[in-house]
Amino acid sequence: MSKILTISIAAYNVASYIQTTLDSLVSSKYIDDLEIFVVDDGGQDDTLTIAKEYQKRYPSSVFPVHKENGGYGTTVNYSMEHATGKYFKLLDGDDWFDTDALNGLVQGLKSSDADVIITPFYSSYENGKLEKISYIDDFGPHVQLIKNLQIDRAIGMWAITYKTEILKESNLKLPSKTFFTDIYYSLYPFAKAKTIQCIDFPVYCYRLGHDGQSVSIESRLKNIEQLLTINRNTAKFISHNSDNDNYSYLLMRATYTYKYILKNLLLLSYEKVNKDKFALYDQEIKEICLPVYQNIERLGKLGKFIWLCRKTKYQAYYLLKILYPKGIPNF
């Protein structure tokens, strides 16, 4: 039986979560339409053992995979290479899907032919609160050409489902041993896609607040050089795709990535060495991709602050000491 949706689960030492993750999938009435790769990235706990128990119950849908540790990107690479589903979606092993919403998505995927599907998602906090992130007002329910989009916000991997053939055509291969590779995943395939559709079912439930997440402030600052490298590469990607039909969208998405990187640089202590780091990096991006450098200035308060920094040869950087003596609030 041909599959409608391939789900790639990055599963490194998530034994305490993986049962919840898999239960949210195998409970779907469309389980026979799902191809679920549980990619154990060289973990040392019982994640793989648990996944194998699910495989016994759902042998045509659940496929545990054990590989040497290579980092998040290599789990995605494995699943992209082996995917047979019409569409492809990522799921972290400590997150889960809303089963009813998954049913709605699969039903929609059966009839859709859009290259990219966007769905709402939930941010799940430790106190049990769920915050819905919606896109229907930006897209409406109908298929659109990406080159005609008027959206002005970043779309993260939690909201994205790609047509598998688009992923394969993009030749996307994520780097090993690198955090934040979902930034590449959420941008690069859009250069090959032509159409996009919003299916208004909040599928992904994104768990926030637990230890070890790459999105934590501690992880971002510890791995700041990886973030800077990723942004350099996305800026180069925009420069190399200036004649792409979807250039307007690609530039917008890359600009929001740059905004995210600059905000992380501003989390560093207010010292001259960090001011110089901020200034040098900003000028480096100017050389790599002038449109991204220019475009950042239109993005709200941060854009105005960046404009002021540039006008004052980055001396305005020290205003942060006055405005935020205890450091910039969490974001």
Give tens-digit pLDDT for 183-221. 999 999 999 999 999 999 999 999 997 655 556 677 778
C-alpha 184, offset from chain centre: 8
Model pTM? 0.94
Tens of pLDDT, residue by residue over 123-148, are 999 888 999 999 999 998 899 999 99
Instruction: Give me the residue spans of the domains in the chain.
Output: 5-208, 217-323
The answer to whether 74 touches 11, Cβ cutoff 8 Å, is no
Q: Give the model's pLDDT for residue 325.
A: 73
For residue 330, name the pLDDT band (cuts at 50, 70, 90): low
Tens of pLDDT, residue by residue over 86-98, are 999 999 999 999 9
Single-letter amino acid code for the residue at 210: H
For residue 317, name the pLDDT band (cuts at 50, 70, 90): very high
Helix, strand, coil percentages (3-state) for the chain, rounded to 5, are 50, 15, 35
Return the CATH number of the domain spanning residue range 5-208: 3.90.550.10
Q: Give the model's pLDDT for residue 270.
A: 86
Residue 198: partners with Cβ closer than 8 Å, 6 or more residues away: 117, 118, 119, 135, 136, 138, 139, 140, 141
Residues 285-318 as b/e (b if ≥16 CB within 10 A, e otherwise) read beebbeebbebbeebeebbebbeebbeeebebbe
Cβ atoms < 10 Å from Cβ of 192: 20
